[in-house]
Each structure stands twice: as structure tokens, then as C-alpha cells.
Amino acid sequence: MFRRHLGLVLVLILVTTLTLTGLATSSPTLRNDMPDYLKGFQRTVNRQVSIYPDVYYLSGPEDVRAIALTFDDGPAGDATSQLLDLLAEERVRATFFVVGEKAQEQPDLIQRIVDEDHELGNHSWSHPDMRKYTNQHILDNELKNTSQVISDTVGLAPSIMRPPYGALRDETIEFLAEERWFIINWSIDSFDWDTTQNSPEEITEKVLEYSHPGAIVLMHTGEGLDGTIAALPEIIRVLREGGYEFVTVSELLGL
Ligand SMILES: [Zn+2]
């Protein structure tokens, strides 16, 4: 009698677990199947978005066929000019998470990004792993100075930031939320930063395989990242055929 009862309980637990797992996949998550060394990162960001859904984002609403392409680590001279040329030609708007020390040296590109209707986000001053610094240091030495350069150039400071490597401690997320920042990671990693898998074909395949309404796609702009620029026309073509519209992060999230 007891054994039979136990069996029933186990079945109920299994059904409940499967149901919860099913529900979990429909909430915002980092979608890529990560290589083993990034599984911990994937778990962390999925946990953080579930704790801080109002300030920490991996993606936007799933009921509109819109996607936000994001380009990190610029501005980067000719590589960024070339990317902007392509986006203009394709009539695609995107979001650039820029690094302060590069923005300071290349105000013309910062201005051009804004003039061509893209969005600027803050990607720190010097691209450190923010988990190694105090909250106040991050705010003063990485975010405020970067925003100052941006606002000196284009007259407006971003309200969105992306931590380098997508990495923040929980308490830093809470601190930045109080400082009125929105933290933007991504739901699709193009892996264009990984030289072992960043041919145009590999980048295209990753982005298209995991594409979904409301996606935020992680890409980069920089010297040597030719695969990204080469992949974009096909990515844009296929997504447009699938009914997707390209929007900035703030538009996607309604910030
Ligand atoms: Zn970066």
C-alpha cells in the first residue's frame, strides 16, 4: 500500500517538474546551447533575469516579431564605419554598446551612430570584469565617465548599460537599478568574438537557429571581425523574410 502510494507521489513530482521546466523555457533566457565553459554563465544570467526582471533584460516581448541587433566594444574606426555603411544600406537600426576610452578618441563615430538613428549604450570605460570592483568604483570610474563623453558628444547620456562579458554580481545589479540603469544582456550569442567559430557561415547559422521574437543578439564591431559584417546581409534577409523588424533595444523593451 505504502509503495503504491510512493509511486503515485513520484509520478506527481515528475509531472510537476516537467510542467515547470516547460514554463521556464517560455520565460526570457539565454537561448544558445552554451559550450561547457559557459554553462555557469548561462545559469547565472538566467537566474539573474528571473530575480530582476524589471531592470535586467535578456530579451523583449515575444508577441511582436521584432529583434534588436547589438554591437559591442566600439567605436572601432574603419570597422565601425563599414558596419554603419552596411546598416544604412540595409535600412536596419541597431544598438551600439560603446567603450568610453574609445568613444573619447572617436567622437565622430559616436555622432554618426546617433545621426543614423541607432541607439547608444554604455559598455564601461575600459572593459573590465566588473565583478572585481566595488559598486561605487563601477559607477564612478566605468559608467559615469563614459556617459559624460557620450553626452558631451551627442547631448544625451544612455540609460542602458551592458557589463563587459555580461558579468555582474547580484548586488551590483541592485545598486545600478537604484542608480536608474537598465542592464541589457542578450538572448542570442552570435559567438562572433570567438575566433574558433566566427566564420560568416557559423555566425549566420547561430543567429538564425536561435532567432525568436523579442531577441537581443550579441555581436561586436572591431578590427578583424570581418565575419560579422559578412554574415549580416544574409541574417537580415532571412529574418526580414520571416517577418521580423529590426529595432533598437529601448524600442524593443519599451524603455
Ligand atoms: Zn564587450
CA distances for 193 relative to 60, 167, 199, angstroms: 23, 16, 10
Mean pLDDT over 47-74 rounds to 97
Describe the chain by its helix, strand, coil percentages, rounded to 5.
55, 15, 35
Backbone φ and ψ of 206, nearest 5°: -65, -45
In the annotation, is 220 catalytic? Answer: yes
Round to whole Å and give the CA distance between 137 and 141: 5
Q: Record the cell numbers describing residue 188, joined without a space.
A: 542570442
Residues 37-253: name the CATH superfamily.
Glycoside hydrolase/deacetylase (3.20.20.370)
Mean pLDDT over 202-231 rounds to 97
Is pLDDT at 2 greater than 60 in this prediction? no
* Centre of ligand 1 from the C-alpha of residue 17, in Å: 36
> Residue 128's pLDDT band (boundaries 50, 70, 90)?
very high
Domain ranges across the chain: 37-253
* Centre of ligand 1 from the C-alpha of residue 195, in Å: 15
> Residue 13's pLDDT band (boundaries 50, 70, 90)?
low
Round to whole Å and give the CA distance between 68 and 57: 12
* Centre of ligand 1 from the C-alpha of residue 73, in Å: 5
Provide the CA 193 distance to its chain's centre, in angstroms.
Answer: 13
* Centre of ligand 1 from the C-alpha of residue 219, in Å: 9
In the annotation, is 72 catalytic? Answer: yes
* Centre of ligand 1 from the C-alpha of residue 40, in Å: 18
Round to whole Å and give the CA distance between 162 and 74: 13
pLDDT at 163: 98
Sign of CA dihedral 54, 59, 63, 68: positive
> Residue 34's pLDDT band (boundaries 50, 70, 90)?
confident
Rg (CA), the chain: 20
* Model confidence pLDDT, tens digit, residues 103-120: 999 999 999 999 999 999
Catalytic residue among 5, 137, 220, 226: 220
* Centre of ligand 1 from the C-alpha of residue 165, in Å: 6
Q: What is the 3-state secondary structure (H, E, C) of 195-254?
A: CCCCCHHHHHHHHHHHCCCCEEEEEECCCCCHHHHHHHHHHHHHHHHCCCEECCHHHHHC
Round to whole Å and give the CA distance between 60 and 251: 9
Round to whole Å and give the CA distance between 74 and 83: 11
Mean pLDDT over 70-92 rounds to 98
Catalytic residue among 72, 73, 189, 192: 72
